[in-house]
Amino acid sequence: MSMNTQGRPTGIGTVGTGASGSALIPDEPLLFEIGDTEHSGVDLPEVELSSDRLGGFGRKTKLDLAGLTEPEAMRHYVRLSRMNHSIDSGMYPLGSCTMKHNPRLNEKMARLPGFSDIHPLQPVSTVQGALELMNELSYWLMTLTNTAAVALSPKAGAHGELLGMMAIKAAQEAKGEAHRTIVLVPESAHGTNPATAAFIGYSVKPVPAKADGTVDVEAVKAALSPEVAAIMLTNPNTCGLFEPQVIEIAKAVHDAGAFFYCDGANFNAIMGVVRPGDLGIDAMHINLHKTFSTPHGGGGPGAGPVVLSAALAPFAPVPFVRKAESGLELVEHVEEQALGRVTAFHGQMGMYVRALTYMLSHGADGLAQAAQDAVLNANYVKARLEHLFSVPFPDYPTMHEALFDDSFLKDTGVTTLDFAKALIDEGFHPMTMYFPLVVHGAMLIEPTESESKQTLDRFCDVMAELATDAKEGNSERFTAAPMKAPRRRLDETRAARQPILKWEKPAGTLKAAE
């Protein structure tokens, strides 16, 4: 068995040398190949188990959980971490994901014991500061969007969509219009939109985009009918464009007795500059983990508060904070017309603290400046690259994302995927690929406001050099990429055909250990 740089046996089927196990690029065995059931990194007193209160339900099967001492754990997780790209280590221009800088003051504030060490069900009189914080965050969100209410509790964007659509469904039922069973979703929408609509029993009707990448108000009007409950529209849309006819669309939707759900994933482009409430939206989730800088953490946790128009406000779920004589109170139970509860407790307090910290740091002026810088950066990338790349929708200035299609790669033998993987070898995280679906071989670049001009110039230089190289026929640099990452391209087909979803002790071999 080959050995890695720690002198440990590496896992079955791996090699410990070469691109993935040398110098400062670590290779690391699985925790179960390092630790065993006797090692532990915590010191706890041994107590006798008196089992009569366990009523015969005590454990008889073995846990077989590997443990690590503290130094072993520290090294395992530090070494693993170094196999990740992160926003702190380099540009992360994933379109639709808003990978902006995560200020560390936010982390420090979220860890104050007055926020992190309070229980959701301790008496309300002992958490008045927490309720005040929720109230303040609500005020910021409603003010920035010019809306009547906000439901803070959704756990992420898709959860917020679910809540918003539930509120719309409840409102339609309250109007006696439960027969409205169709939701309009433009073809360029995020996958979560149709998934959410279907999840609560709506049928989804796609709305085609115009050739210029925006939604056609006439197409919306044609699709509206007495069976339509709502439209789910992203604005700015997933092609990076502000919908120029959004006000007309909202009016047509309302005239037809339907509601306007706005996917707020791209709010970063317009915060402090445009208020979605002024455009006629009825509900919009705000990804605190995108727009308001709470860290993505390798896939969450997020938070997806939903702002609501006056028409939908009565259908907000519990809990919410309300002013009372004795201070602030937490309304935890269903009142008239409310749709109930979409999560236990009160939502993502840890994210509320971080988001409010971010808002207070920026202020109204800083948020508007951030949005404008995000738009400036995307347009700068587009301007610097459009002579080499193909721009599918050149009619409008882009908002906070620059979108290219793959026609510039025609006849090069290089695909969007190959191009993205080559970017990895140049030290950048790839852009979002093959999304939105309405653009062939899409490359969606969202630099965010956090990138300096110097970084953008370096990124554009690399992109230009790659495009030129691809057009000159040097396809191997792309098809073989990445060469310098901790792993080369992974066999996803094999992973799906023969799923291995947990570690099993290799049959007939000795346990791998030091």
Partner 1 sequence: MRYLPHSQHERDEMLGVIGASDIDALFSAVPKSALKSFTLDLPAHSPEFLVEAHLRALANKNHAAGDGPFFVGAGAYRHHVPATVDHLIQRSEWLTAYTPYQPEISQGTLQMLFEFQTQVAKITGMDVANASLYDGSTGTAEAVLMARRLTRKNKVVLSGGLHPHYRDVVKAYLKDDPDLVCLSPSPEGQGDVLEHIDGNTAAIVIQTPDFYGHLRDLKNAAEAAHAQGALLIVVITEVVSLGVLEAPGALGADIVVCEGQSIGNALNFGGPYLGLMATRKEFIRQMPGRLCGETVDADGNRGFVLTLSTREQHIRREKATSNICTNSGLCALAFSIHMSLLGEAGFVRLARLNHANAILLADALAAVPGVEVLNKTFFNEMTIRVTQPAASVVERLAQRGILAGVPASRLLPGEEGVENLIILAATELTTDADIAALAAALTEELA
Cis geometry, peptide bond prior to residue 482 (ω within 30 degrees of 0):
yes
The three-point CA angle 277-282-284 to 5° equals 80
User: What is the distance between the alpha carbons of residues 291 and 271, in angstroms, rounded to a whole number?
Assistant: 8
Three-state SS string over 138-188 comes to HHHHHHHHCCCEEECCCCCHHHHHHHHHHHHHHHHHHCCCCCCCEEEEECC
The three-point CA angle 416-422-427 to 5° equals 130
Is-contact 182 216, C-beta < 8 A? no
User: What is the distance between the alpha carbons of residues 319 and 456, in angstroms, rounded to a whole number?
Assistant: 43
Q: Give whichever of 197 and 224 is closer to partner 1, judged by the CB atom.
A: 197
- In whole angstroms, the minimum distance from the beta carbon of 7 to partner 1 comes to 18
SS3 292: coil
- In whole angstroms, the minimum distance from the beta carbon of 248 to partner 1 comes to 9
Q: Can you read off the two tokens belonging to residue 131?
A: 């309720």
- Nearest residue to 406 via CA among 452, 444, 364, 461: 444
- In whole angstroms, the minimum distance from the beta carbon of 266 to partner 1 comes to 13
Q: Give whichever of 230 and 270 is closer to partner 1, judged by the CB atom.
A: 270
- In whole angstroms, the minimum distance from the beta carbon of 292 to partner 1 comes to 12
Q: Give whichever of 77 and 226 is closer to partner 1, judged by the CB atom.
A: 77
What CA dihedral angle connects 233, 207, 398 and 270, to 10 degrees? Answer: -10
Q: Give whichever of 124 and 311 is closer to partner 1, judged by the CB atom.
A: 124
Longest dimension (CA), the chain: 77
- In whole angstroms, the minimum distance from the beta carbon of 364 to partner 1 comes to 4
- In whole angstroms, the minimum distance from the beta carbon of 508 to partner 1 comes to 19
Q: Give whichever of 6 and 357 is closer to partner 1, judged by the CB atom.
A: 357
User: What is the distance between the alpha carbons of residues 151 and 315, in angstroms, rounded to a whole number?
Assistant: 10
- In whole angstroms, the minimum distance from the beta carbon of 471 to partner 1 comes to 23
- In whole angstroms, the minimum distance from the beta carbon of 472 to partner 1 comes to 24
- In whole angstroms, the minimum distance from the beta carbon of 485 to partner 1 comes to 4
Q: Give whichever of 154 and 411 is closer to partner 1, judged by the CB atom.
A: 154
SS3 45: coil
Q: Cα 55 to chain center, whole Å?
A: 44
Q: Give whichever of 313 and 339 is closer to partner 1, judged by the CB atom.
A: 339
Q: Give whichever of 11 and 390 is closer to partner 1, judged by the CB atom.
A: 11
Q: Which residues of 197-221 are buried (b: 16+ CB within 10 A; e: fewer)?
A: beeeebebbebebeeebbbbbebbe
- In whole angstroms, the minimum distance from the beta carbon of 138 to partner 1 comes to 13
Q: Which strands sit side by side in the sheet containing 432-433, from one edge to the other?
A: 402-404, 443-445, 432-433
Q: Give whichever of 156 and 209 is closer to partner 1, judged by the CB atom.
A: 156
CA distances, 94 to each of 88, 129, 400 (Å)? 14, 36, 11
Q: Give whichever of 75 and 471 is closer to partner 1, judged by the CB atom.
A: 75
- In whole angstroms, the minimum distance from the beta carbon of 108 to partner 1 comes to 7
Q: Cα 97 to chain center, whole Å?
A: 6
Residue 96, sorted as left (phi over 0), alpha (psi -120 to 50) or beta, turns out to be: left
Q: Give whichever of 86 and 474 is closer to partner 1, judged by the CB atom.
A: 86
